[in-house]
Structure formats: structure tokens, C-alpha cells
């Protein structure tokens, strides 16, 4: 397998505007459980923090030899939702390289350990994250 080094560019979130209308406590609770936030009071955290995320990506992203790649460096942009239990769900490939390499990136996200979920008003909520990363092929 070709070894690649993955450098995390940064984590960023898309801004999703949510209405600020007055709701009863029950309807507000139902809305919160269905809503996907982009910015919350406590953002989701990968186990061990950012450095552990960099390590996870760098050590687990390996492109099989069957993936013919003529690049020395390229970027992949992904997004996903960290749900209320910390599981990574709703993975989307926003911009890829090749179908073969893209499938490796999606597989890596699918197998991520659970994150500490994001919280709004002390309650775990779903949060959409964007994860761009650069791949250096050797």
C-alpha cells in the first residue's frame, strides 16, 4: 500500500441559520432533537482532541496500490454530522480526488471512534462538521 501523510487543514463548520421564535418547552425539545446545528456552545470533540484527530487521520489513511494516483498532493473536503451519542453519521464527500481515494476517505470517517457530542444549553445535539484534509502521496 502506498503510504500517505495526511495534514489536517482545519475543522470548520457551515453556518446554518435557525429561527429564534418562541416555543413551548416541549416543542423546543422536539425541535432540538431533530435539528442539526453548525455552531453550538460546546462543539463536538474527537477523543483526545485535535492532535489525536491528526494522528488518527495520518496513521489510518492508506491508499491501496490499486488506486492509480498521479498526484503528489491533493485535497479532499468532507462533511459529516456528529449525532447526540457522538457517532459520525451523514458523511458527504464535498470534493474528492478519484473514486478509489475518495472511498478510502469515506471509509476512514465511517470507522472513526465516537466523538464527545456537541451541546447546546447543556443538552447533546447534532452538529454538522466539515473536515478538509490534504493528502501527500509518496
Q: How confident is the model at residue 136 (pLDDT cuts 50, 70, 90)?
A: confident
What whole-number distance in Å separates Cα of residue 42 and Cα of residue 68?
41
Average pLDDT over residues 88-96: 95
- pTM of the full predicted structure? 0.74
Q: Is the pLDDT of residue 6 over 50?
A: no
The pLDDT of residue 19 is above 50: no
Q: What is the pLDDT of residue 73?
A: 65
Q: Strand locations in the chain, DSSP E?
A: 2-8, 36-37, 62-63, 73-82, 88-95, 118-120, 123-137
Mean pLDDT of all residues in 118-138? 90
Task: Return the percentage of the chain with pLDDT > 90, whole number.
Answer: 53
Residue 90 to residue 131: CA distance in whole angstroms: 13
Amino acid at each position: 500500500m502506498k503510504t500517505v501523510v495526511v495534514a489536517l487543514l482545519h475543522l470548520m463548520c457551515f453556518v446554518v441559520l435557525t429561527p429564534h421564535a418562541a416555543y413551548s418547552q416541549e416543542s423546543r425539545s422536539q425541535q432540538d432533537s431533530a435539528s442539526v446545528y453548525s455552531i453550538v456552545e460546546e462543539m463536538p470533540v474527537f477523543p483526545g482532541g485535535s492532535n489525536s484527530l491528526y494522528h488518527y487521520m495520518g496513521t489510518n489513511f492508506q491508499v491501496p496500490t490499486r488506486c492509480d494516483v498521479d498526484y503528489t498532493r491533493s485535497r479532499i473536503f468532507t462533511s459529516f454530522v456528529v449525532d447526540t451519542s457522538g457517532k459520525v453519521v451523514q458523511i458527504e464527500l464535498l470534493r474528492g480526488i478519484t473514486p478509489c481515494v475518495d472511498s478510502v476517505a469515506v471509509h476512514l470517517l465511517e470507522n472513526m471512534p465516537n466523538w464527545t457530542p456537541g451541546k447546546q444549553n447543556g443538552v447533546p445535539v447534532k452538529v454538522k462538521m466539515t473536515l478538509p484534509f490534504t493528502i501527500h502521496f509518496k
